[in-house]
Homo-oligomer: A and B are copies of this chain.
Amino acid sequence: MAEAINFKKLFEPRSIAVVGVSSDITKGASGFLNSLITLGFPGAIYPVNNKLNEVLGLETYPSVSSIPHPVDYAIIGVPAAAVPGVVDDCACKGVPFVQIFTSGFEELGTAEGTALQQRIKEKGKGRTRIIGPNCMGIYHPNARIGFEPEQSVRPGDVGFISQSGGLAMNFVDRSVSEKIFVSKLISIGNACDLCLTDFLNYFRQDPETQVIGTYLEGLQQNEHRKFFFLARAVTQTKPLVMWKPGYTEAGARAARSHTGSMVGTYRIWRSMSTQTGIIMVQSMEELVDVISIYVRSPLPKGLQVSIVAYGGGANVTATDACTSQGLKLPILEPEIQQKMLAFIPEAGTFRGNPVDVTGWVTSPRIAGGVSLLAACDPQIHALIFILDIDFIFKQCNRLNLDQERLLGGHSKSLLRIKEETGKPVVCVLQKTGDVLALEDARLKAKNRFLDIGIPCFPDIARAAKALVHLNAYRLYRDHSRFKPLETAGSRIA
């Protein structure tokens, strides 16, 4: 495996030039400038514009080469036709890394666009490394570098590589609300020079990064073989979760016009994932769910789960949702079911699996006691505990119960089960009414569970899917016989 490129000056630059700033801080290069200032980037920032003297209180320079200090990283937001000249100027100045925000290159699908991209590539070759064009560059909270002024500066251990700038922004927002935080993120856009494998190889060795996510429309032409062996090496120690769009014909067409990517046959990608241990997902939610469960759970030893919930119909439909994702619900051992009768009565409840604790779900002691018994069954590899937010909310109002205390009790008992059994324990916080008061209750509960290390999902199907992915990854690591989750995509393309 090749040594990773030394990205120190990219991720920890002493100085950044922002080329093409204007007085409108909401647009283009000025948006980057505003973000760096707002996030508190501690190094030097040099705005470049040949008409203005000052932007956002900073002295501007007419060109990068006219900056009388070293520049480690340049962000370029000038119109497409002017980009080759700026890259050349950066190269002359000795800037090691440039990022091109500007679009209007190969993604246009025109001869002109392709030629222009080729020109910037040639301008940089051997002199300065290029990220993009048509991208948002890097987000590195630890260095206070980002591309939106609202981005979090809390560092984490999740690396992310995205071919879409918009989805890179979405990932940052989403990860913050799931309380999983980013080590470093790179939006690579058209990837004319630095590409997925360069950053993947870096993440493989980066001690800050424990799990890697990626949104990838397509690899570069010469990158496939390298990617295959690199992915195999990465997944030995860190999960690689990949959202690969374009699994339908129309989606593939849309990808071509977005980043000029040839997406390849989805079937080939699935086959590659089997051989490399990559976890393939099909949405932002699924991607974040897998990362959230991985960072908070031991790897499950199999697919057999127990569900503990309230309500007959809810349990029937939860069982369908679980098993259609590939999980199994063995009937709990008779002595386990017998022991549950110390907590719940025989009539009205059900103890076989799924376990219906009925209205006792409002008692953390009872629901927790039953759940621990279910999780202790040697057949069971993971526990799924379902809380119906609508019911909890109504019952707390009707019976004047302290909702915070109730949820605190549940979170503690689930943590205890996780610790005592060493098995994954997940919580489904589902709600039916689509109203703000319930969402407020759900979010408060969710944050409480996430804070103590219990992964949370808004519905059973997503919890089940995340567990299936986690088990597939465990299987690959244990035996190198990875069984990817069968999803809709495999039936298409």
Interface positions, chain A 135-173, Cβ under 8 Å from B, are 148-150, 162-167, 169-171, 173
Q: Is the C-beta of A103 less than 8 angstroms from some C-beta in chain B?
A: yes
Segment from A52-60, A68-76, A198-206, A315-323 that makes contact with B = A315-323
Minimum CB–CB distance for A345 against chain B, Å: 10
Given contacts A104-B348, A258-B313, A283-B317, contact A323 B433 (CB under 8 A): no
Q: Is the C-beta of A132 less than 8 angstroms from some C-beta in chain B?
A: no
Copies in the complex: 2
Q: Which residue of B lies closest to A310 (CB)?
A: B166
Q: Is the C-beta of A247 less than 8 angstroms from some C-beta in chain B?
A: yes
A146 to B347, CA, bound (A): 25
A302 to B328, CA, bound (A): 38
Interface positions, chain A 225-269, Cβ under 8 Å from B, are 243, 245-251, 253-255, 257-259
Q: Is the C-beta of A2 less than 8 angstroms from some C-beta in chain B?
A: no
Determine whether the beta carbon of A164 is less than 8 Å from that of B316: yes
Determine whether the beta carbon of B347 is less than 8 Å from that of A103: yes
Minimum CB–CB distance for A235 against chain B, Å: 24
Q: Is the C-beta of A12 less than 8 angstroms from some C-beta in chain B?
A: no
Q: Which residues of B have CB within 8 Å of A352?
A: 253, 257
Segment from A174-182, A271-279, A406-414 that makes contact with B = A174-182
A449 to B396, CA, bound (A): 32
- Main secondary structure, interface of A, reads helix
Minimum CB–CB distance for A287 against chain B, Å: 11
Q: Is the C-beta of A282 less than 8 angstroms from some C-beta in chain B?
A: yes
Q: Is the C-beta of A478 less than 8 angstroms from some C-beta in chain B?
A: no
Given contacts A148-B394, A284-B432, contact A245 B317 (CB under 8 A): yes
Instruction: Name the contact of A323 in the complex, choosing from B103, B248, B258, B313 (C-beta under 8 A).
Output: B248
Q: Is the C-beta of A84 less than 8 angstroms from some C-beta in chain B?
A: no
Determine whether the beta carbon of A257 is less than 8 Å from that of B348: no
Minimum CB–CB distance for A127 against chain B, Å: 28
Q: Is the C-beta of A443 less than 8 angstroms from some C-beta in chain B?
A: yes
Determine whether the beta carbon of A432 is less than 8 Å from that of B164: no
Segment from A363-371, A372-380, A434-442, A468-476 that makes contact with B = A434-442
Q: Which residues of B have CB within 8 Å of A388?
A: 166
Given contacts A254-B354, A435-B443, contact A394 B150 (CB under 8 A): yes
Q: Is the C-beta of A37 less than 8 angstroms from some C-beta in chain B?
A: no
Given contacts A148-B394, A324-B488, contact A314 B167 (CB under 8 A): yes
Given contacts A150-B394, A443-B435, contact A251 B317 (CB under 8 A): yes
A250 to B215, CA, bound (A): 35
Minimum CB–CB distance for A39 against chain B, Å: 15
Determine whether the beta carbon of A319 is less than 8 Å from that of B254: yes
Minimum CB–CB distance for A152 against chain B, Å: 11
Minimum CB–CB distance for A156 against chain B, Å: 16
- For the A-B complex with A174-B433, A436-B439, A488-B488 known, give 5 more contacts whose Cβ atoms are closer than 8 Å: A26-B398, A166-B312, A253-B352, A258-B313, A284-B432
Name A residues whose Cβ lies closer than 8 Å to a Cβ of B. Answer: 26, 80, 103-104, 107-108, 148-150, 162-167, 169-171, 173-174, 176-178, 215, 217, 243, 245-251, 253-255, 257-259, 282-284, 310-317, 319-324, 328-329, 347-348, 350, 352, 354, 388, 390-391, 394, 398-399, 432-436, 439-440, 443, 446, 488-489, 492
Closest CB pairs A-B (n = 6): A164-B313, A251-B320, A258-B312, A166-B311, A177-B434, A248-B323
Cross-chain pairs A/B with CB under 8 angstroms, 25 sampled: A103-B347, A104-B347, A104-B348, A107-B312, A162-B313, A166-B314, A166-B391, A171-B432, A173-B432, A245-B316, A247-B320, A247-B324, A248-B319, A248-B320, A248-B323, A248-B324, A250-B319, A250-B320, A254-B316, A255-B316, A282-B320, A283-B317, A324-B488, A324-B492, A439-B443
